[in-house]
């Protein structure tokens, strides 16, 4: 099973879309194993978005992510990173396909609802940045046997 990070951005909280977004991942069959609300700091965002440091929009991204709290989640499932990325859609909400989270709820490059890890390696780094080991919860959903074939997990 893979784990991946999903951050529900301030625009998601401000627009009252938290339940809708979480519900989509649950309905897909992913397992929520960690969740918390937090106010992100400039320092944490500088680390998290270090790969954008040279981009002209770097400060705008950080400023946007500090306008309200975020909800940081960890989702688990077979191929979770790819599943979440597919469900999320492309970064620019104007170009995201209808049916994806960004395609249904975003018309912006910046205010695009959600941050997701882009690879398994990145997911591990990002999850360690936002969660302590004791903030994950292990449980077996009652519907688990109906989500995967016995040789898939």
Tell me which of 83, 93, 115, 123 is the catalytic residue.
115
Is the separation of the CB atoms in 10 and 70 below 8 Å?
yes
For β-strands 70-77 and 31-38, DSSP reports them as: antiparallel
Give 6's strand partners. 73, 116
Give catalytic status of residue 48 as yes or no: no
Residue 70, judged by CB atoms within 10 A of its CB (0-12, 13-18, 19+), counts as buried
Find the helix packing angle between 80-88 and 18-28, rounded to 10°.
130
Return the active site residues. Answer: 115
């Amino acid at each position: 099973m893979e784990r991946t990070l999903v951050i529900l951005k301030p625009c998601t909280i401000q627009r009252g879309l938290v339940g809708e977004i979480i519900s989509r991942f649950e309905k897909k069959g992913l397992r929520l194993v960690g969740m918390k609300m937090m106010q992100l700091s400039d320092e944490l965002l500088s680390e998290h978005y270090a790969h954008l440091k040279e981009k002209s929009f770097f400060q705008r991204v950080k400023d946007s992510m500090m306008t309200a709290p975020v909800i940081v989640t960890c989702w688990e499932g077979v191929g979770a990173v790819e599943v979440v990325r597919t469900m999320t859609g492309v970064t620019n909400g104007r170009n995201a396909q209808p049916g994806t989270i960004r395609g249904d709820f975003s018309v912006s490059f910046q205010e695009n609802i959600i941050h997701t890890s882009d690879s398994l390696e990145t997911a591990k780094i990002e999850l360690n940045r936002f969660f302590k080991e004791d903030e994950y919860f292990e449980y077996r959903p009652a519907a688990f046997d109906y989500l995967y074939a016995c040789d898939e997990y």
